A = this chain, B = another copy of it.
Amino acid sequence: MSGVRGVLARRSLEEVQSIVEKALRDYVEERSEDPAMKYARDILLAGGKRFRPVLGCLAYEAAGAKLDDKMLRSALAAEIIHTATLVHDDIYDQAKLRRGRPTLHSQHGLAHGIIAGDYLFTLGYWLGSEQGPEVIRALADSCIAMANGELLQFDHIGNLGTTPEDYYRIIDGKTAGPIACGCKVAAMVAEADPEIIDAMDNFGWEVGRAFQMVDDLLDLTGNPRMGKPRGTDIYEGKMTLPIIHALTSLHGNDRKNLADVLMDFNDDRWDELIALLDTAGSIDYVRSLIDSHVQRAIEALEPLPNSNQLQLMAKFARKSALRTL
C-alpha cells in the first residue's frame, strides 16, 4: 500500500483513477502469495473505469477528509466486492469475455471461477473490517440486497407483466444499492455528520439508478468498449426499462407485436423492435428519467460545502450517466 497523503484538491478524475489503480496493484501484490490471487489478479487488473472507488475517494474528500490509505483500503473493498460479483455473474450469464479478455471461469473452469469469486468477496470484507463493524454491516447489507435484486431479476425473466416498481426493486438491489453503499461508507470512514452520510447515500442511489438505465439503453445500441454485443438483455429475456415502458404504453396490435418480438427475438427483428420502442416513446422516456436521476443526485449534494471534489462528483454523475467518462 502506497503512502498517499494530502489534499486531492484540483486533481482531475483521471488522477484519482490512477491513485486507485496504483493502490489496487499494490494490494494485489500484497496478497500475491494466495493461490487464489493467481486466478483473480487478471480480472482485478483488467482495467475499467474504477467507477466505485473513484466515487468513494471523491465522496471522502467532499465530506471533509484528506484522501489517505484508510480510505483507499475502503475504496478497494468496494472495487473487489464488485469484481467478485462480476466473476460470479459471468458464470451464470455464460459470458466468454469481460473487458475484452476471457472470463475467469471460461479460462480456468467453473470451480476456479466460483472459488475465486468467493475469495474476492472475502478480501472485501477483510478490508472492510479495518473500518469497523458499521462499515462491514453497510457492505453486507448492500451484498444481501444485491443477491435479492439478482434473484428478483431472474424471477422476472420473460415476464411481460413486470412493472416499473419491480424494475426499481431489482436495480436498487443489484446496481444502485452497492454504489450508494460506496458513497455512504466513504462518508462514514471520513467520520462525517449523519446529514452528510445521508446526502452521500442519496447521491449514490440516484447515480446508480441513472447508471443502470444507461446500461439498459446501451443494450439496445451495443457497447463495444465493454465487449458486450447489443441485445444481450433482450435475448436473455431481461426486463429493461425501455422494454417495460413500451409494454406498458402500447396497446392493441402494437402491444401484441412487441410481445411477439420479445418472445421470439432474433437479429432480423431489430428494426421491428426499435420501431415499436419509437412508437411508445420509450427511449426518450428513459433518457428523461436518466436526466432526472442525475439531477436529483446533484441536488442530493446540497448539504455539502462547495469544493472542487463536490464539483467533480457532480461532473462524475453527469458524465457517468452519459457513459462518456
Chain A residues close to B by CB (< 8 Å): 34-36, 38-39, 84-85, 88, 91-92, 109-112, 114-119, 121-123, 125-126, 128-130, 132-133, 136-137, 139-141, 143-144, 147-148, 150-152, 154-155
- A35 — which chain B residues lie within 8 A by C-beta? 148, 151-152, 155
- A141 — which chain B residues lie within 8 A by C-beta? 126
- A110 — which chain B residues lie within 8 A by C-beta? 91-92
User: Which one of B36, B130, B133, B152 contacts A147 once the chains associate, using CB atoms below 8 Å?
Assistant: B36
Residue of B nearest to A144 (CB): B122
List the 4 closest A-B pairs by CB distance, nearest first: A92-B111, A119-B147, A126-B140, A129-B136
B91 lies within 8 A of A148 (CB): no
User: Which one of B36, B111, B151 contacts A144 once the chains associate, using CB atoms below 8 Å?
Assistant: B36
B36 lies within 8 A of A118 (CB): no
B34 lies within 8 A of A144 (CB): yes
User: Which one of B114, B118, B122, B137 contacts A126 once the chains associate, using CB atoms below 8 Å?
Assistant: B137
- A128 — which chain B residues lie within 8 A by C-beta? 136
| Assembly stoichiometry (copies) | 2
Contact A154/B34 with A133-B130, A140-B122, A143-B118 known, Cβ cut-off 8 Å: no
User: Which one of B109, B129, B136, B147 contacts A118 once the chains associate, using CB atoms below 8 Å?
Assistant: B147
- A136 — which chain B residues lie within 8 A by C-beta? 125-126, 128-129, 133, 136
- A111 — which chain B residues lie within 8 A by C-beta? 92, 150, 154
- A150 — which chain B residues lie within 8 A by C-beta? 111, 115
- A119 — which chain B residues lie within 8 A by C-beta? 143-144, 147-148
Measured between C-beta atoms, what is the minimum distance from A92 to chain B in Å? Answer: 4
Measured between C-beta atoms, what is the minimum distance from A103 to chain B in Å? Answer: 14
- A36 — which chain B residues lie within 8 A by C-beta? 144, 147-148, 151
B112 lies within 8 A of A140 (CB): no
Contact A154/B91 with A122-B143, A144-B123 known, Cβ cut-off 8 Å: no
User: Which one of B118, B137, B140, B155 contacts A88 once the chains associate, using CB atoms below 8 Å?
Assistant: B118
- A84 — which chain B residues lie within 8 A by C-beta? 118
> Bound state CA distance, A139 and B139, in angstroms?
15
Interface CB pairs A-B, < 8 A, 29 = A34-B148, A35-B148, A35-B155, A39-B151, A88-B118, A91-B114, A92-B111, A92-B115, A111-B154, A114-B117, A115-B147, A115-B150, A116-B147, A118-B121, A119-B144, A119-B147, A121-B122, A122-B140, A122-B144, A122-B147, A123-B140, A123-B144, A125-B125, A126-B136, A126-B144, A128-B136, A129-B133, A129-B137, A129-B140
